[in-house]
Amino acid sequence: MKYGTTGAACAALLKRDLLLVWRRRGDALNPLLFAIIVVSLFPFALGPERTVLERIAAGTIFVAELLAMLLSLDTLFRSDLEDGSLEQLVVSPHPLSLLLACKIFIHWMTTALPLIVIAPLLAELLHLPDRVLPVLLVALLLSTPLLSLIGAVCVALTIGMRRSGMLLTLLVLPLIVPVLIFGAGACNAAQSGFAFHAPLLWLGAWLVLALVLAPLAAAAALKISLS
Amino acid sequence: MNDQASDPAEQPATLLQAQRLGLSRNQEVIFGPLDFSLHPGEVVLIEGDNGSGKTTLLRILSGLLEPYDGEVLLHGEPLTLARLSHQVALLGHLLGLKLELTALENLRFSIGLGGIRRGITPELALASVGLEGYEDQPIRTMSAGQRKRVALARLLLVPAGLWLLDEPYANLDREGIELVNRLLDHHIHRGGAALITSHGAYAYTSGMPRRIRLKAAA
pLDDT, tens digit, for every residue of B108-162? 999 998 888 888 899 999 999 999 899 899 999 999 989 999 999 999 998 888 8
Q: Are B161 and B86 in contact (CB under 8 A)?
A: no
Residue of A18, A81, A85, A88 for testing the chain B interface, max B β-carbons within 10 Å: A88
Q: Is the pLDDT reported for residue A41 higher than 50?
A: yes
Compute the nearest-CA separation of A107 from chain B (Å): 17
Whether residues A227 and B65 touch (CB distance < 8 A) is answered with: yes
Backbone angles phi, psi at B119, to 5 degrees: 80, 20
Residues of chain A contacting residue B95, judged by C-beta atoms under 8 Å apart: 83-84
Give the per-residue pLDDT at B9: 42
Cβ atoms < 10 Å from Cβ of B27: 5
Give the per-residue pLDDT at A132: 92
Q: Is the pLDDT reported for residue B1 higher than 50?
A: no
Whether residues B113 and A20 touch (CB distance < 8 A) is answered with: no
Please name the residues between 131 and 150 in chain A that touch chain B, using a CB distance below 8 Å: none
Q: Is the pLDDT reported for residue B7 higher than 50?
A: no
Q: Is the pLDDT reported for residue B85 higher than 80?
A: no
Q: Is the pLDDT reported for residue B186 higher than 50?
A: yes
Residues of chain B contacting residue A27, judged by C-beta atoms under 8 Å apart: none
Give the per-residue pLDDT at B207: 63
The residue type at B204: Y
Question: Which of A19, A24, A87 shows the shortest C-beta gap to B96?
Answer: A87
Minimum mean pLDDT range among A38-47, A50-59, A96-105, B192-201: B192-201
Domains of chain B, by residue range, sit at 94-160
Asked if A224 is an interface residue toward chain B (Cβ–Cβ < 8 A), one would say no
pTM for the structure as a whole: 0.88
C-alpha distances in angstroms, A82 versus A159, A170, A226, B94, B98?
A: 10, 23, 11, 8, 10
Cα maximum dimension of chain B: 55
Q: Are B43 and B204 in contact (CB under 8 A)?
A: yes
Give the per-residue pLDDT at B2: 40
Domains of chain A, by residue range, sit at 6-226
Whether residues B109 and A16 touch (CB distance < 8 A) is answered with: yes
Backbone angles phi, psi at B69, to 5 degrees: -135, 155
Three-state SS string over B102-156 comes to EHHHHHHHHHHHHCECCCCCHHHHHHHCCCCCCCCCEHHHCCHHHHHHHHHHHHH
Minimum mean pLDDT range among A137-141, A146-150, B110-114: B110-114
Q: How many CA atoms lie within 13 A of A173 on its CB side?
A: 6
Whether residues B109 and A4 touch (CB distance < 8 A) is answered with: no
Give the per-residue pLDDT at B206: 65
Give the per-residue pLDDT at A27: 87
Give the per-residue pLDDT at B210: 75
Three-state SS string over A157-186 comes to HHCCCCCCHHHHHHHHHHHHHHHHHHHHHH
- Sheet with B210-214: strands ordered across: B88-91, B162-166, B193-198, B43-48, B210-214
pLDDT, tens digit, for every residue of A173-205? 899 999 999 999 999 999 998 999 999 999 999
Q: Is the pLDDT reported for residue B10 higher than 50?
A: no
Q: Are B84 and B58 in contact (CB under 8 A)?
A: no
**Residue of B28, B43, B8, B30 lying closest to B204 (CA atoms):** B43
Cβ atoms < 10 Å from Cβ of A24: 14
Going A163 to A167 to A170 to A173, the CA torsion angle's sign is negative
Asked if A78 is an interface residue toward chain B (Cβ–Cβ < 8 A), one would say no
Residue of A79, A92, A98, A223 for testing the chain B interface, max B β-carbons within 10 Å: A92
- Dihedral through CA A92, CA A94, CA A98, CA A100, nearest 10? 0
The band of A217, judged by pLDDT with boundaries at 50, 70 and 90, is very high
Residue of A nearest to B80 (CA): A91
Classified as helix, coil or strand, A38 is: helix
Residue of A nearest to B89 (CA): A91
Residue of B nearest to A92 (CA): B85
CA angle B105, B108, B112 (to 5 degrees): 140
Asked if A93 is an interface residue toward chain B (Cβ–Cβ < 8 A), one would say yes
Q: Which of left, alpha, beta for B7 (phi over 0: left; psi -120 to 50: alpha)? A: beta
More confident residue, A118 or A91: A118
Residues B43-48 have a mean pLDDT of 85
Asked if A27 is an interface residue toward chain B (Cβ–Cβ < 8 A), one would say no
Minimum mean pLDDT range among A40-54, A74-88, B3-17: B3-17
Q: Is the pLDDT reported for residue B51 higher than 80?
A: no
Q: What percent of chain B has pLDDT over 90?
A: 19
Q: How far is the C-alpha of B91 from the C-alpha of B148, rounded, in Å?
A: 9
Residues of chain B contacting residue A12, judged by C-beta atoms under 8 Å apart: 108-109, 111-113
Residues near B178 by beta carbon (within 8 Å), at least 6 away in sequence: none
Which spans in chain A are helix H? Answer: 6-23, 25-28, 30-46, 50-73, 75-83, 85-91, 96-107, 113-125, 133-158, 165-191, 197-226
More confident residue, B131 or B34: B131
Residues of chain A contacting residue B81, judged by C-beta atoms under 8 Å apart: 90-91, 223
Measured in residues, chain A has a length of 227
Q: How far is the C-alpha of B112 from the C-alpha of A128, rounded, in Å?
A: 46
Q: Is the pLDDT reported for residue B11 higher than 90?
A: no
Residue of A nearest to B114 (CA): A4
